[in-house]
Amino acid sequence: MPPVTAAISTEGLSKRFGAVRALEDLSLSVNRGEVFGFLGPNGAGKTTTIRLLLGLLAPSAGGATVLGRAVRLDGADWRGDVGYLPGEVAFWPQLSGRRTLDYLARLSRRRPVDRPDLLDRLGLGADILARQVRTYSDGMRQKLGIAQALQCRPSLALLDEPTKGLDPLVQQAFYGIVAGARERGTTVFVSSHVLVEVERLCDRVAMLRQGRLVFQGDVAEVRRAQLRRVAVAFAADVDVQALAHFGEMVGAAPREITMLVAQKDLPALVARLGMLPLADLVVEAPSLEEAFLERYR
């Protein structure tokens, strides 16, 4: 049984399309109220996972619970509490933006309490909403997609590549929207391959590669688990090979070394360096991107 605090829980969730394994044995848990990043390159299975969580696809094996209810193809009622932004959002071209939002809110059976705030933050004015969606740019469609997903204040928001096509200013607005949603208790599940975005938004993160989960944990934990890049300059020649056992030496000269060192070994290294004629010391924490790429190598 998944913990009662889990907004999403999957157990051995798998999906095959013919011979293609889109998702393999995914066991994942997303806590209520957290912002969860779902990382992976194109084709890793992120969109398939979200579509399985919504009951748009039937799993080949395993199962999932969303907001405490087992996901089924035709189990419809719980979806009123879920907001969804598809990765390739599409609308009815002849409908205006406002009619689109009205129609989707009616289908959600909830009042669009957050719509005015969202439209304001996203810069979707009344004049834009009065136009047919077919006249919208890609960015405007994406903004409308974000608005429709969050307008009814869902308990869980599943956002597939939410900042795709947004300019940097609107991306900032989106980050604010997610922060606001979290403050109101909404669980946000963000699929992305934009690592900086995930690093900024998310409490926890899962990484997917070729349909398999390769990591699940705190963003901080990902970084912590990574090697630090340590650059040291000495005031005099030293035997740099005597430091090699602290980590991986990636550059060495009599007065200068660059090493990759595990976080746990840093205190010992710093203590040892203190006994040497130290001129400069730089310790760089890895970005999530470096951590991510390291796991994908």
Partner 1 sequence: MSVLTLLGHLWRRHRLALLCLTAGGALFQWAITRVVPTGAQTGFVRQLFDMAPAPVRVLFGEEMVANLSARGFLGFGYVHPFALLILAAWGVRVATGALAGEVGRGTMDLVASRPVSRWAQVAAAAVAVLVGLAVMAAASWAGTAAGLRTRPLEGVVALDFAPVAAMALMLFACWGAVALLVSAVLRDGGAAISWCSGLMAVSYVLDYLGRVWTAIAFLRPLSLFRYYEPHRILRDGVAASDMTVLSAVGVVALVAAFVAFARRDL
Site for partner 1 in 150-169 (CB under 8 A): none
Residue 208, judged by CB atoms within 10 A of its CB (0-12, 13-18, 19+), counts as buried
d(CA 205, CA 36): 6
Binding of partner 1 at residue 38 (CB under 8 A)?
Answer: no
- Token readout for 266 is 């840093």
User: What amino acid is encoded at 87 in this protein?
Assistant: G
d(CA 171, CA 161): 12
For residue 285, how far is the Cα from the chain centroid? 20
Choose which of 109, 134, 184, 245 interacts with partner 1 (CB under 8 A): 109
Binding of partner 1 at residue 63 (CB under 8 A)?
Answer: no
Choose which of 13, 35, 57, 156 interacts with partner 1 (CB under 8 A): 57
Choose which of 103, 214, 225, 295 interacts with partner 1 (CB under 8 A): 103
Helices 168-183 and 115-122 pack at an angle, to 10 degrees, of: 150
Binding of partner 1 at residue 54 (CB under 8 A)?
Answer: yes
CA angle 41, 43, 46 (to 5 degrees): 75
Choose which of 46, 64, 65, 78 interacts with partner 1 (CB under 8 A): 78
Binding of partner 1 at residue 91 (CB under 8 A)?
Answer: yes
**57 vs 269, beta carbon nearer partner 1:** 57
Q: In the bound complex, what is the minimum distance in angstroms from residue 126's beta carbon to partner 1?
A: 20
- Other CB atoms closer than 10 Å to residue 268's CB: what's the count? 12
Binding of partner 1 at residue 99 (CB under 8 A)?
Answer: yes
# residues contacting partner 1 (CB under 8 A): 31
Binding of partner 1 at residue 86 (CB under 8 A)?
Answer: yes
- Cα→Cα distances 38→110, 167, 223, 260, 283, Å: 27, 22, 16, 27, 28
Stretch that binds partner 1, among 85-93, 178-186, 223-231, 267-275 (CB under 8 A): 85-93
Binding of partner 1 at residue 62 (CB under 8 A)?
Answer: no
User: What amino acid is encoded at 60 in this protein?
Assistant: S
Interacting residue ranges for partner 1, rule: CB under 8 A: 51, 54-58, 73-74, 76-80, 82, 84, 86, 88-92, 94-95, 99, 103-104, 106-109, 148
